[in-house]
Amino acid sequence: MKIIDIYNSKKMVLSLEIFPPKPDSPLESIFQTIEALKDLRPDYMSVTYGAGGKAKGRTVEIASRIKNDYGIESLAHLTCIASTKDELHEIFKELKANNIENVLALRGDIPENPDFDFPNPLQYRYAGDLIREIKMHEDFCIGAACYPEGHIDCDSKIADIKYLKEKEKSGAEFMISQLFFDNELFYRFMEELDLADLKAPVSAGVMPVLNKKQILRITQLAGCNLPPKFRRIIDRYENNPEALKEAGEAYAIEQIIDLMAYGVRGIHLYTMNKPDTARRIINNIENIRKL
């Protein structure tokens, strides 16, 4: 099933995101995670390439198991910055062979290795290039990323929204937002998208922060604003891991309840492969989810 049809048939869509284990770790661990998440009844599950684009070879296999063995619609992440046209078309074939109908088209992280051998000449620079390539040759339902606080590599919010509009015109049918911790920034972003006449449904990306190291890494990579309320939580509980975990889950629950009251089209929960945390969060919105 194409994910855009899910958005068109439901008032609010709930999706979960997982990532592959490290290349030197057994794949079975992620299937245990999926097994623990499946009865939360997500509308779809997305599978990333792993941190920094690593373990990408496992993404199709995991997405295939989600779709074909667990009966949950899957969304495979697909990046382009380090890929050639031939490599991408091989992945297209593999996705189709595994009955995967949905992809999240991304530029991808720049490889950390300074000696990384990029295609020469570079064949794809931006997610929009990948979206156009897919639409020219395949019939996948395409999702795209959006950035409530602006992409960290973009010069301005105005330019960033212009690029989002171009993604939509090129064929992106739905959007998933980068994580954020201040809902008011997200609501302002949605107003900006309305002014730009962007029609694609947007799912709000929410990540429960469970430890201080995670918080510092996220803010460095994504440039997320930490509102005073959230900073107080970190300062108060940073030396008590269990208390910070509990507070982080509570903050995510409060975020989601407020987002759903606002009327978001979807909630995309970054599970960090922590099914117990995902379960506690979703169980706390079960009745609200039914409305």
pLDDT at 162: 96
pLDDT digits (tens, 9 = 90+) for 27-58: 999 999 999 999 999 999 999 985 444 556 79
Distance from the first to the final alpha carbon of the chain: 23
Are the C-beta atoms of residues 19 and 45 closer than 8 Å to each other? no
Contact predicate 18/47, CB 8 Å: yes
Kindly report each contact of residues 165-170 with a partner whose C-beta sits within 8 Å and lies 24 or more positions away, as own/partner.
165/196, 165/197, 165/198, 166/128, 167/105, 167/127, 167/128, 167/131, 168/144, 168/198, 168/199, 168/200, 170/128, 170/131, 170/132, 170/135
The domain tally of the chain equals 1
Q: Which domain does 112 fall in, by range?
A: 3-289
Q: Each residue of 247-264: pLDDT tens digit?
A: 999 999 999 999 999 999
Q: Is 17 a catalytic residue?
A: yes
Choice among 17, 101, 168, 249 that is catalytic = 17
| Residue 41 half-sphere exposure toward CB, CA atoms < 13 A | 6
Helix (H, G, I), strand (E, B) or coil at 183: helix
Helices (H), 98-240: 127-137, 157-170, 183-195, 212-222, 228-237
* Omega cis (within 30) before 23: no
**Closest among 175, 98, 179 to 141, alpha carbons compared:** 175
Is the distance from CB of 188 to CB of 157 less than 8 angstroms? no
Task: Give me 68's structure tokens.
Answer: 């074909």
Rounded to whole angstroms, the Cα distance separating 44 from 144 reads 15
Residue 17, CA distances (Å) to 42, 128, 261 in order = 10, 22, 22
Q: What is the model's pLDDT at position 50?
A: 57
Q: Average pLDDT of 130-150? A: 97
Residue indicated by tokens 């940073």: 238
Q: Please report, for the domain that includes residue 57, its CATH number.
A: 3.20.20.220
Nearest Cα neighbor of 63 from 45, 80, 36, 83 is 45
Provide, rounded to the nearest whole percent, the portion of the chain with pLDDT above 70.
97
Rg (CA), the chain: 18
How does pLDDT run across 151-205, given as a tens digit for each residue? 988 989 999 999 999 999 999 999 999 999 999 999 999 999 999 999 999 999 9
